[in-house]
Amino acid sequence: MTNSSTTPTTPKTPSLTGSLPSWESVLAVVAHPDDESFGLGAVLDGFVQAGATVSVLCLTQGEASRLGAPGPDLSRMRAMELQNAARQLGVASAVLRTYPDGALAQVNPTTLAAEVLRELDVRPVEGIVVFDPTGVSSHPDHTAASKVALDAAAQRDLPVLGWTLPMPVAEQLNDEFGTAFVGHGYDDVDLVVLVDRERQRMASLAHASQAVPTSVLWRRLELLGDLEYLRWLRHAKSPAAIPAALPATVAESPGPMPTEVQTMRVQWQADDRFDIRVRSHAITVDQPAEVGGDDLGPTPTELFVASLASCVGFYARRYLRRHHIDPAGLEVTTRFQMGAKPARVAVVDMEISLTAELPLDRHAGLLAQAAHCTVHNSITHTPDIAIRLASAN
């Protein structure tokens, strides 16, 4: 352990590399009461602030903790602490199970996975958050909880994010405290996200039996600053896995992408005019008169920008609805600029306006939700596009 008179410098951290996924509902699966706050607190708060409904499944009562007298009294205390911490984080539901603390790895994995599946049946979610499979602190209970969550996610085809530490922070903590934290190199981290620690600290303090002043927790939060590190442990199946013969034009909607392939047809009508058939709808695109068209509809490029703007509006409306904010006057004013070599849309500037005044603490959440609309995600995560000639009949 490093001499207490020495003040190690904070390890250098990389810049932001992403943001939390725009899941509307999230399940955190953890081993002990306090894992949801000490470890995942800032991440879960980030989801809550973005408008997601967050629930927690904790598999043990933490009765084997070295802090406090083990036994029924400690179990009851930690159960109450979990509920208090959940309220601080804005967690909608915190379910506590009674599997043996310190021996979770000895429980039948199928039994534990069934607990996760039961929660998914009660509260269907869009994504799961767990500790990294290393356990982060090398605790075997953490590893066991993450493994069964991944097993359940595979059965329901759900994505899973794993919370981890960057290697420099893990090494610094191990040097100072003689701990066994396991970190990952920056190249192995998928998301570095900006977080607010205030609610995490309040939730951690709610675990009064564990959040002692000498806890390594406080040093870890200091070293991490306002960044958290996440790895994709599992992606849900996506249309990208469909064979290359997939038609080049796949229908898009501003809502969640269906798992089945969708098809739209673009049919030439006359001159520069085409009709786009999307399910039972028809959209006409044309060119302005000054470039040889009849100006009977927007250009394909304008339609592209319009799809982005309308998708942003759709997601903004969904955020407002979730937080009971009047969407009257909701408008997305969009300006775009073309670029050359190659010809493309080079700049898009969007401004969201409302008639109602949006509370300051909701600004970041609304913008985060809008930035994760399906069209925007499709631009920032480039889809596989195939263009081919149809076979002659």
Three-state DSSP string of 44-104: HHHHHHCCCEEEEEEEECCCCCCCCCCCHHHHHHHHHHHHHHHHHHCCCEEEEEEECCCCH
Nearest to 91 by CA among 121, 119, 131, 61: 119
Radius of gyration for the chain, computed over Cα atoms and rounded to the nearest angstrom: 25
Walk me through the domains of the chain, giving residue ranges and CATH numbers. 25-234 (3.40.50.10320), 243-380 (3.30.300.20)
Query: Which residues, other chains included, contact 298 with Cβ-Cβ below 8 Å and sequence gap of 6+?
Result: 285, 286, 306
The answer to whether 76 touches 162, Cβ cutoff 8 Å, is no
Q: At 333, which helix (H) or strand (E)?
A: strand 331-339
Nearest to 328 by CA among 288, 302, 356: 356
Nearest to 200 by CA among 181, 215, 214, 218: 218
- pLDDT at residue 163, as a whole number: 98
Q: Digits of tens for pLDDT over the chain (393 positions)?
A: 334 334 444 444 455 667 899 999 999 999 999 999 999 999 999 999 999 999 999 999 988 876 655 556 888 899 999 999 999 999 999 999 999 999 999 999 999 999 999 999 988 899 999 999 999 999 999 999 999 999 999 999 999 999 999 999 999 999 999 999 999 998 889 999 999 999 999 999 999 989 888 889 999 999 999 999 999 999 986 433 333 333 322 233 334 444 456 678 877 888 888 888 877 788 888 888 888 888 888 889 889 988 898 888 888 888 888 888 888 888 888 898 988 888 888 899 989 999 888 888 788 888 887 887 888 888 888 888 888 888 776
| Eight-class DSSP state of 260 | S
- pLDDT at residue 268, as a whole number: 81
Nearest to 65 by CA among 57, 55, 56, 75: 75
Cα gap 302→319, rounded to integer Å: 26
Angle ∠(106,112,114) on CA atoms, nearest 5: 150
Cα gap 285→303, rounded to integer Å: 8
Cα gap 235→17, rounded to integer Å: 18
